[in-house]
Amino acid sequence: MTDEPRNASIRMDALQAHHAEAAARWAARLGLPRVGETDFALQLGDQGLQLVELGDKAPGPVRVDFVEGAAAHRRQFGGGSGQMIAKAVGVQSGIRPRILDATAGLGRDAFVLASLGCEMTLIERQPLIAALLEDGLQRAELDLEVAPIVARMRLLTGNAIDLMQNWQGEAPQVIYLDPMFPHRDKSALVKKEMRLFRPFVGDDLDAPALLAAALALASHRVVVKRPRKAPAIEGAKPGYVLEGKSSRYDVYPKKKLEGA
Q: Which residues are known binding-site members for S-adenosyl-L-methionine?
A: 108-109, 124-125, 178
2, 200 contact by CB (below 8 A): no
User: Which DSSP string do the residues of 191-210 spell out, in sequence order?
Assistant: HHHHHHHHHHH---TTHHHH
3-state SS assignment for residue 126 = coil
How far apart are the C-alpha atoms of 214 and 207, rounded to whole Å?
10
Phi, psi of 45 (to 5 degrees): -145, -165
Task: Report how far residue 175's alpha carbon sits from residue 102's, in angstroms, rounded to the nearest whole number.
Answer: 7
User: Measured between alpha carbons, how far is residue 61 from residues 70, 101, 104, 146 in Å?
Assistant: 15, 24, 19, 23
- Residues annotated within the binding site are 108-109, 124-125, 178
